[in-house]
Amino acid sequence: MKKYSFLFLLSLFGFSVLNDVVSQNILLEKNRKIYPREKSIFIYRKKKVNIDFDVKKDSFKIISQVESHMLHLRLHSQAYAQEAITYSDYTKISNIDAYSLVKMTDGVKKKQVTNFQTRDAVSEDVFYNDVKEKVFLFPNIIAGTQTHLAYTEELLEPRFLGSFFFTSYIPSQKTEFSVSVANNIEIGFQLFGMDTSTIIFTEKREENRKIYTWVLEKAPKYTDENSSPNLRYYEPHIVLFIKNRIIKGNNKKTIPLSSSVKNLYDWYYPFIKEIDTLKEFPELEYFVDELTANDTTELTKAKRIFDWISTQVQYIAFEDGERGFRPAHPKKVCQRKYGDCKDMASALLAMLRVEGIEAYFGWLGSRDLPYTYAQTPVPLVDNHMIVVAKINGKNYFLDATGSQETFGTPSYFTQNKEVLVAIDSNTFEVLTVDSAPYSQNTVYDSAKVKIEGANIIVTGNMILKGFPKTTIIPYLNFQDKEQENKAFKHLLNPHEPTLQLKKIEIVPTKRKKPLQINYEYEIPNHTQSLYSDFYINLHLNPVWRNTEIDSLRKTPVNANYKFEKTQVYVLELPRGTSIKHLPQNQNYDSEYFGFSVEYTRSSEQIILKHTVYSNYLILPVSEYNNWNEMVKQLHQAYRQNIVLQR
């Protein structure tokens, strides 16, 4: 009897092993068919946030359970073997459970991760920050392997609840975000992204708690398209924050945390109070007075001070706990001549106030962040600091972090963004930075074109103003002549591989003046002859050629700035020739973009004036058909030849 029982148990065990392997194979093949182009998918991703208030400690207690389960579908999925858990001084990570489920001949085996390394999280834009990573490798990553990660995250600062994305770098069969909060705590949340309609939201009550849940089934992976804005503009995600804590009883009381912009300002202001409340800056007075000795108005003094800060103080980003919020003393910044945006704002503000100029600290979110202060009154809304100067009734938004920035012109990444301006300990303003119009960001390229046989010689100059100038200047320090020639060939005519550069001269310019580039180049065999006629195309640098937008594109198109580019080519008519055919003028105008092509003639020359303008920072998807129609008309214009007759 015992023998039969043993054999029966053994057979059950063998069947269990076989069943595990079979179920793994079924799961693998099923998902390979559903995701034929993916190397891996998430079976699920979850984050559960639990929010309470500890009366004894007089602080919020915020604990999150984070969990994900990945299935590796194919070979070459080893890129997903490495995982990192990111945290900062404001978070604690514990209870990490990471393992692989590996299909083997004797069943499915669990391979636990045991080696975790802690390192600094590297950011190319930040010199130093307090962000760390726990990095590890999942073992045995082959097709069919499943990897599991779970850990606990404790948040020490309740204003840093942050955001949760429903999409990720690979697809997910199910993504879930839930919040369990005590009844005496009121939360706020905002959904962002181009399409959040497929996210299912539920709310329920359990005893003394409220539970909010958001679920997205069959979540796609991130959309990766050229020239898209930051993914926060289009990928579905949620921003969560605590609005109030409610004390119940005879005298019901509401204690706000992040219920309004005022709450955020009241939390921010102590970080700048030490500097903002100083009445005098005696250690800077002599230097500032000497610097502005020849200036007689507030405006010229402000320009002088701004230029000194932006050119003499080097921008280096720091993100280190409270150091990421608290500016350094202006004396220290001016002495060491480096600092982050807050430090440079501190020095700029102090120097302006020495001269009696009305100046204030201003917090601001870069264009990577699509949020407003009213929607999300939490630190996630901004990531930058500037100075707002009020001179002759006008607001000047001064960002000194760029060495090429011009006084009175916003930095390109602050255009159209809100600024939280600190007037005093109780008073603030929310202002909006204007975008620089395209008329301030211009490229004017004019040249004489001479025909020599079948070749043309082009001699001209290009003048750049505004953002086109400040964008190109950092790239003008070439390592060698070959690199310089390649760069300028691309600038002058990227579509002509036979272009032979003969001369380049960068005219030395002052910081406030336009940049001028003089040039001369030759294009062999640019003209074509047929009997007594010969043909020449004067569109030597066709802007926006081959820039049609794919009809399947999902995301908006992002531009760093609005601009206008004008090309004027003057063709000298060879002796003994006349004009047989001149192309028609063309133009296209819209709110967002446009162009004009205009030919004029005389007995000795033909002039082509071609202008394009771009009047958007983010081009909405609804404009893609109009853009493609404009590009189609541009292509028609670019194909038109001038016909000369001997």
> What's at 270, amino acid-wise?
P
Q: Is the pLDDT score of 637 beyond 70?
A: yes
Across the range 306-315, mean pLDDT stands at: 94
Counting residues of the chain whose pLDDT is more than 90, the rounded percentage is 79
Report residue 439: phi and psi, to 5°. Answer: -70, -15
The last residue of one of the domains, among 220, 247, 274, is 247
412 and 504 fall within a common domain: no
Q: Is the pLDDT score of 18 beyond 50?
A: no
131 and 197 fall within a common domain: yes
**Which of 95, 177, 85 minimizes the C-alpha distance to 138?**
85
Higher pLDDT among residues 323 and 346, named by residue: 346
422 and 452 fall within a common domain: no
422 and 564 fall within a common domain: no
Its domain, for residue 616, covers 438-645
Instruction: Mention every residue, 6+ apart, whose C-beta is less than 8 A from residue 483.
Output: none
Q: Is the pLDDT score of 553 beyond 80?
A: yes
In a domain, 142, yes or no: yes
Number of structural domains the chain divides into: 3
Counting residues of the chain whose pLDDT is more than 70, the rounded percentage is 94
What one-character DSSP code corresponds to residue 324? G
Q: How confident is the model at residue 531 (pLDDT cuts 50, 70, 90)?
A: confident
Q: Is the pLDDT score of 247 beyond 50?
A: yes
CATH number at residue 411: 3.10.620.30
Across the range 173-188, mean pLDDT stands at: 97
Is residue 237 within 8 Å of residue 162, measured between CB atoms? no
CATH number at residue 551: 2.60.120.1130
Residues 376 and 159: their CA atoms lie apart, in Å, by: 11
**Which of 79, 72, 136 minimizes the C-alpha distance to 103?**
72
426 and 452 fall within a common domain: no
pLDDT score, position 11: 46
406 and 536 fall within a common domain: no
Strands 107-112 and 91-104: antiparallel
pLDDT score, position 16: 47
In a domain, 255, yes or no: no
Is residue 411 within 8 Å of residue 324, measured between CB atoms? no
Q: Is the pLDDT score of 7 beyond 60?
A: no
74 and 197 fall within a common domain: yes
Q: Give the tokens for residue 118.
A: 């802690």
Across the range 158-187, mean pLDDT stands at: 97
389 and 442 fall within a common domain: no
In a domain, 256, yes or no: no
Most confident region among 117-131, 316-330, 427-441 by mean pLDDT = 427-441
pLDDT score, position 630: 98
What one-character DSSP code corresponds to residue 171? -
Residues 122 and 433: their CA atoms lie apart, in Å, by: 30
Residues 593 and 625: their CA atoms lie apart, in Å, by: 12
* pLDDT one-digit tens code per residue, 42-65: 999 999 999 999 989 999 999 999
What one-character DSSP code corresponds to residue 168? B
* pLDDT one-digit tens code per residue, 501-511: 999 999 877 77
The last residue of one of the domains, among 387, 414, 432, is 432
* pLDDT one-digit tens code per residue, 438-447: 999 999 999 9
Q: Is the pLDDT score of 103 beyond 70?
A: yes
pLDDT score, position 322: 64
In a domain, 253, yes or no: no
